[in-house]
Amino acid sequence: MLSTIQAGNLNALDFINVTDELKEIAKKIITAERVTPAEGIVLFEQGELGFLGKLADFVRKQKNGDYAYFIRNFHIEPTNICVNKCKFCSYSHHFSKTQWELTVDEILDKVTAKENNVSELHITGAVHPDRDIYYYGNLLLKIKKLRPGLHIKAYSAVELDYMIHKSGLSMKDGLQYLKSCGLDSIPGGGAEIFDEKIRKEICGMKSTSNTWLAIHETAHQLGIPSNATMLYGHKESYVQRIDHLERLRRLQDLTHGFSAFIPLKFRNSNNEMSHIAEVSVVEDMKMYAIARIYLDNFPHLKAYWPAVGRKLAQVSLSFGVDDLDGTINDSTRIYSLAGAEDQSPVMTVSEMIALITESKRVPAERDSLYNKLG
């Protein structure tokens, strides 16, 4: 075991005070052997944070060296009027003190107002009852006409499920239509937690876990890459977290269409689950580390800094994370409404570079497909 650790450029002393079971799991990780679901649960239940961090950092470095990626991007949230009533949501009109419904012209004004060097536009929000796929397809066409070089990452699987079914199209035909209108990739939102019992309890009106997975599978088959997420730190157990990661890993084995996994921390302000305490920083870092270890076929692990804050995002770079998302430019309200530290999420490129450099990582500006820029 010690020789294996040394071959993996890890310090053998970090593994002396762990159980034989954890040592065997560490050996598998170092030799690039896949961790089983049972072993993933052991890591959650028995792995100390320092132990997990060392292993996750090893995996990160094997995959991405010392690069830490970021992108110049902005969000547009067209509406918070939603057919769903998810208990954890602080964003929709059911729980927010205000509601909004941007017109197409207002959205286009936001697009034209952004700097020419912005690489990506992220469009996601609520599931509006009156808007179908043709509304959203037309929006894509208009944006591409204004900014043809802008990568559009738009519409979570939950939004896609509703708009495509409302229009009477098959999922394949609906996604193909949106791609023809300018859809470049889709975000990972709406996954929440795949366990059906908890999903029914916290977001029972939302698309099922199987539907979410089927939409992403279809998108990948059509050449539309996507991200994946998990909402953690509410009612789920470690077993249910690993089940979620396992389903994602199986789909990635099949399609290789996921670019990144993003753990999303449950925030308890202004929603029906405010009685549930938020998990600790230790639990946050454990989630990042085990996600990096378990999702061996995912190229990137992202810390979405508006959700956890700048400081914790910086710390996460030592727990398997290699991507901090982007500059955002104060264009999202989803996490600020839920009580995140950054109530006006904006980070300049120089601030991002400084944050990464302070963590002894190499800043790498990227495009939406993780090609390095400059």
Condensed to tens digits (0 to 9), the pLDDT of residues 253-301 reads 999 999 999 999 998 877 788 898 999 999 999 999 999 999 999 999 9
Residue 340 has pLDDT above 70, yes or no: no
Q: Measuring CA to CA, which residue among 146, 160, 151 is closest to residue 73? A: 151
Residue 336 has pLDDT above 80, yes or no: no
**Cα pseudo-dihedral 109, 115, 120, 123, rounded to 10:** -20
Residue 16 has pLDDT above 80, yes or no: no
Measured distance CA(2)–CA(13) in Å, rounded: 9
DSSP 167-220: TT--HHHHHHHHHHHT--BB--TT-----HHHHHHHHTTSPPHHHHHHHHHHHH
pTM, two decimals, is 0.91
At residue 86, the pLDDT reads 80
How confident is the model over 354-369, as a mean pLDDT?
Answer: 96
Measured distance CA(71)–CA(49) in Å, rounded: 29
Residue ranges of the chain that CATH labels 3.20.20.70:
66-365
Q: How far is CA 243 from the centre of its chain?
A: 17
Contact predicate 182/140, CB 8 Å:
yes
51 contacts: CB under 8 Å, gap ≥ 6: 14, 15, 18, 22, 26
Residue 179 has pLDDT above 60, yes or no: yes
CA distances from 151 to 68, 118, 163 (A): 20, 9, 21
Say if residue 75 is exposed, middle or buried (CB neighbours under 10 Å; 0-12, 13-18, 19+): buried
Tally Cβ neighbours within 10 Å of residue 79: 17
Question: Which single residue is written with the structure tokens 């060097």?
Answer: 117
Q: For residue 366, give the DSSP letter.
A: B
Residue 109 has pLDDT above 50, yes or no: yes
Residue 20 has pLDDT above 50, yes or no: yes
Measured distance CA(47)–CA(254) in Å, rounded: 29
Measured distance CA(305)–CA(326) in Å, rounded: 8
Contact predicate 43/35, CB 8 Å:
yes
Task: Give, to the nearest 10 degrees, the angle between helix 238-255 and helix 209-221.
Answer: 20
Residue 334 has pLDDT above 50, yes or no: no
Measured distance CA(173)–CA(194) in Å, rounded: 25
State the architecture of 66-365 in CATH terms: Alpha-Beta Barrel (3.20)
pLDDT tens-place string over residues 141-174: 999 999 999 999 999 999 999 999 999 999 999 9
Strand partners, 264: 231
Reduce the DSSP state of residue 365 to 3 states and report it. strand
pLDDT band with cut points at 50, 70 and 90 for residue 308: confident
Q: Measuring CA to CA, which residue among 108, 118, 107, 180 is closest to residue 149? A: 118
